A and B are shown apart, each in its own frame.
Chain A
Amino acid sequence: MMREKVAIIGYAQSYHQANMPMTREDMVFEVAKEAAKMAGIEREDIDTVINATNDYYEGRTISELFLVMPIGAYLKDYTKVEMDGANAVFYGMLKILSGTHDIALIVANTQGSTFNPHQISVYTLDPTFDRQIGVLNDISAAAIQARVYMNKYGISEEEAAIVSVKNLGNAAKNPHAHRRMPGISLEEVLSSKLYCDPIRELTMSPISDGAAAVVLASEKKARELSDCPVWIKGVGSCQDSYIRDRKLYKLEGLEAAAKKAYQMAGIKNPFAELDAAEVSERYAHEELMIYEALGFCEEGRGGTLIDSCATFNDGQLPVNPSGGALSADPITATGLIRIVEATMQIRGEAGAHQIPGAWRVLAHGQTGICAQQNIVFILGGEE
């Protein structure tokens, strides 16, 4: 149980794109400054700064070395989480709950244009066996995952493609998204370039440059500084076994993470109680698996759920109104962008993709091949 509440009082995200005409430092400076400005704080008010980047994806060892100044960490408590940005929010929350810090600035960034992330994914494999064989990378592993899942539950390629149609269509209304495709059709998705059967160009996430930032505050500070704090109601994180050693047709790790988060937030029936969800689906079929793991539908019924249009923006539980990871995927920033989008929904600041009356929103982040590590946040407005 949490001994006090932690709130998000400021956020910012970049305009994600394929090749940002900015240095990494400029990009990070913009979002960090904007998030602090929104929270109504000065650099002096920040107690701790946590960055989420990955040395491999950034193409340099100690990727945060030159970021100390642009993210405002100069002479401050500072650390780096080398995972998805949502985990950095988790760490910031732990620091606030410890009673040692009151305000935390979380910044996550990746410039995918520096290094091809699919090439780098080979380095995340077991180096003594899988890497040497040279068959697997994140795309081929996802293709195996997709086939295992689709064969087991009789999910068709069309059902997975509907996810792309939904998310890329939603992204058209989101000015921050990278891949925005208004009026995209099922045929367009199914005839896009085949990478590794059944993974196609439009059923996998693009390589993006982008950054996001949030400001976390303790309950006391949040009430002082913000008239619309967004509370962290629940959080759950779980690492699964390595791809060789787990069932690929379901995301058991995510299921466990969601269970913890729901328990903390007091949610019994997520499909009925949540107003929207922002999930990190690196591949279209993964979103269907995420539905099942998050308990939006029964095991194996992800296809049926998308067929019923319940997760479209006008459905019962809109998933990824922002367009999700399929529309922009700056690796370590992706999970943090989900948290930013969920916060925007609750504050009613999402603009064209606003879900009316969203008051309890789920945000999900993942790290590793085939979503090995998952983290789930339940965010909510004032009760």
Chain B
Amino acid sequence: MWRNIAVIGVGQTKHGIRRDINAAEMIAEAAWKALEDAELGPEDIDAIAIGNMQGFGGICQAELWSGDLFAAPGKPVLRIATGGTTGGSVAQCGMYQVASGLFDTVLAIGFEKHSDSKEPGATMGLSHVGLANMFHLLANGVDVRTSFAYGGGVGAAAGVSAYQACEYMHRSGCKIEHLDMVAAKSRRNAAKNKYAHLQWPNCTAESLAKHPRFGEIVAYPLRLGHICPASDGASAIVIASEEIARKADRPAWVRGLAACADEENQQAENAQGVSILDTSEQMQCRIAAMKAYRMAGIKNPREEIDVAEIYQPFPHQELMYSERLLLFDDGKAWIPLEEGETEIDGKLPIDPSGGVLSTNAIGSSAMQRVAECALQIMGKAEEHQVPKDVKNAVAHGWGGSTNFTVVTVLGDTPRLRW
């Protein structure tokens, strides 16, 4: 990348079930908050990147009818959608728009309004994937009658995740208790984040496991309390070139960004895939992480990364992806978890915002990871601000059937120094 770019403004709506507001108003709320945070007006924005998963909200190309509420008319708009990674891909699109030199200030928005489709929204979107997957597998000669794993295929990414959790537990030797600990940490942290959806102050692994409702196993090894909600919400960031970012108080500089795609995981589950034998391998995440760190000039991520925002709708993914992001040894992430290293005040805080486990508005989720990293660097994370000087933060997102990854590294100093 030939020029420095930075995140100079962040805006989020309260995430949750938002029946008080429609999709357009929700997008506008996040967009205007981000503009206000960046101290810019809509006329200062040169281009817009936006995205959501349209099957989940029942609206096709929502940016076209809602555009007038966030100053889109007259501007170049790029709509990006890549499954769960959508928000992260949108953020990266905004970054490339500025990095190209064609635009100086870009607004990037991710949103989802699950409650707009038939309750619960995510189920409709997921069954849309599941059914299409079944036809795909049939067309490719996979006999779904004999494939136990197809049960996972019907649940799409959620279905894959239950299998993946088992594979990860087998690989790492972590126990269901560790998943309880991750989930409890997420709910606890979310209680400190005013924008989060599921908040449970002082939640502990025991109280979650013994809870009559949330403790129930839905699909082994996942309890109801381990599973992300289907939220409504939007988040936005303003990305600017160096000249503009220099005027900001403490911008979050973009130091590295990478995306990577692997083979679709359901084929692997059905033992028909060609490359993936273990869905907890996550080769694409390692590659993206290595590329992003190299671009950011980070040689030892364990020492240099101060906070990580990992996309973890299911608790084993926080452990698994923290390893794939090269923050811990393969299969060993549960040890620092036990020692409390990943708490807000720990050595390497992971998801101080509560993460996707507590708030999942698909299109907004991976965008929130970038936004939260920016907030930690800017020192604006309020109650869940980590108690240390944040120099580098890594934002992660996964999408598809856990086969797409985006990794963005933000820092307190620009990438290129003259």
Contacts and interface: CB of A to CB of B under 8 A. Distances in A.
Given A66-B136, A75-B287, A87 B259 contact: no
Nearest to B295: A100
B199 to A, nearest CB: 29
A126 B59 CA distance: 8
A71 to B, nearest CB: 9
A65 B401 contact: yes
A126 B68 CA distance: 12
A61 B59 CA distance: 12
Nearest to A58: B132
Give the bracket for the number of chain B residues in contact with chain A.
35 or more
A369 B61 CA distance: 10
Given A60-B129, A123-B59, 17 more contacts: A23-B139, A61-B55, A61-B156, A65-B400, A65-B403, A69-B263, A74-B275, A81-B78, A98-B99, A124-B60, A124-B61, A239-B67, A239-B75, A239-B76, A242-B67, A369-B64, A373-B64
Main secondary structure of the interface of B (DSSP, over half): mixed
Contacts of A91: 78, 93, 96
A256 B261 contact: no
B150 to A, nearest CB: 15
Given A61-B53, A65-B401, A94-B100, A74 B64 contact: no
Nearest to A126: B65
B77 interface: yes
A76 B261 contact: yes
B229 interface: no
A62 interface: yes
Nearest to B405: A78
B260 interface: yes
B65 A97 contact: no
A64 B61 CA distance: 16
A383 interface: no
Contacts of A124: 59-61, 64-65
A95 B128 contact: no
A55 interface: yes
A15 interface: no
A372 B65 CA distance: 9
A222 to B, nearest CB: 17
Give the bracket for the number of chain A residues in contact with chain B.
35 or more
B404 interface: yes
A41 B133 CA distance: 32
A249 to B, nearest CB: 17
Interface stretch (B79-87, B164-172, B353-361): B79-87
A94 B1 CA distance: 11
Interface in B184-227: none
Contact of B101 (A3, A65, A120): A3
Contact of A59 (B66, B72, B83, B132): B132
Given A55-B81, A59-B132, A91-B78, A66 B264 contact: yes
A60 B259 contact: no
Interface in B24-81: 48, 51, 53-56, 58-61, 63-68, 72-81
B285 to A, nearest CB: 11
A1 to B, nearest CB: 8
A94 B49 CA distance: 13
A77 interface: yes
A87 B78 contact: yes
26 contacts: A2-B102, A49-B261, A55-B81, A62-B156, A64-B82, A65-B264, A68-B400, A73-B261, A74-B261, A75-B284, A79-B93, A80-B82, A81-B78, A81-B79, A91-B93, A91-B96, A120-B60, A124-B59, A124-B60, A125-B65, A126-B65, A240-B73, A241-B73, A246-B73, A369-B64, A372-B64
Interface string A335-351: 00000000000000000
Most A CB contacts (10 A, CB to CB) among B65, B131, B295 go to: B65
Given A3-B101, A80-B82, A97-B102, A256 B275 contact: no
Contacts of A80: 80-82, 89
